Amino acid sequence: MHIEQFTFNSFQTRCCVIWDADRKCVITDPGCSSASEVRQLTDFIASKGLEPVCIMLTHGHFDHILGVAELVRKYSIPVYMHPEDKFTLENNAYFSRMFGVAMPDEFETTDIEDGDTIEVGKLRFEVIFTPGHSRGGVCFYERSGKVLICGDTIFAGAIGRTDHPGGDYDILMRSIFEKLLMLDGETRILPGHGPSSDISTERMTNPFLMPFNEPYED
């Protein structure tokens, strides 16, 4: 498995291009906010001789979807997103007003559900429903490569915020504890912002997850 990470827009959103030996690739959370950022992504794909198969969205917040419509126009590929996050798409006007940014162009989505598998060449991405940061947040787990695309559910040393429309702290914590921390400790996590980490490190050191780490008894 090969992974190239990009950082786009003023919110420093992480986008990934992931492919295997067959050269078919997936694009995750393309937050490209300008023509030059879109070109950076598409030029890389062309330089590697890759064939985009789909776009996978961890959630619908505006900073993760700014480049989706342009990429769909170029590649004519499906956009996978959990249906609960149509609420998030509909509420992006809230963020547009809050941050003074333009609304992303509209695009069609294909529904995915917890437990689905998205095939990209030889890669198999399992859909893990992890609401809390948004109503329809998901993570994508490539089990054989031990890679988790986790969006804004969990970060290196932090968790996603829950104060925006559709956010819920208690639900987010359940998603993390019941769905993510149970994965293989060697699983590499690729968040929507900031550096990568792994499940084992977050179990032991993430200060927002300290209830998971009970103190030692003397």
Q: Calculate mean pLDDT across residues 3-7.
A: 98
Rounded mean pLDDT of 47-74? 97
22 lies in some domain: yes
144 lies in a domain? Answer: yes
Average pLDDT score, the chain: 94
Question: Does residue 155 sit within a domain?
Answer: yes
User: Is residue 218 included in any domain, yes or no?
Assistant: no
Structure tokens at 214: 């009970």
Q: What is the pLDDT of residue 96?
A: 79
Cβ proximity of 77 and 24 under 8 Å: no
Q: Are 39 and 113 in contact (CB under 8 A)?
A: no
Give the range of the structural domain holding residue 207, as residue numbers without chain letter: 2-212
Q: 80-106 burial by CB neighbour count: b if 16+ within 10 A, else e?
A: bbbebbeebbebbeebeeeeebeebee
Quick check: is 217 in a domain? no
The strand pairing partners of 111, in sequence order, are 81
- Assess whether pLDDT exceeds 90 at residue 151: yes
Using pLDDT thresholds of 50, 70 and 90, give the confidence band for residue 52.
very high
Q: What is the CATH number of the domain that holds 115?
A: 3.60.15.10
Q: For the chain, how many structural domains are there in total?
A: 1
Residue 80 placed within a domain: yes
Q: 53 near 18, Cβ under 8 Å?
A: no
Residue pair 58/192 in contact (Cβ under 8 Å)? The answer is: yes
Q: What is the pLDDT of residue 36?
A: 96
Could you read off the pLDDT of 163-213 as tens digits, one per residue?
Answer: 999 999 999 999 999 999 999 999 999 999 999 999 999 999 999 998 655
- pLDDT of 88 > 70? The answer is yes
Does 130 map to a domain? yes
> What pLDDT, on a 0 to 100 scale, did the predictor assign at position 79?
98
DSSP string, 157-186: TEE----STT--HHHHHHHIIIIITTS-TT
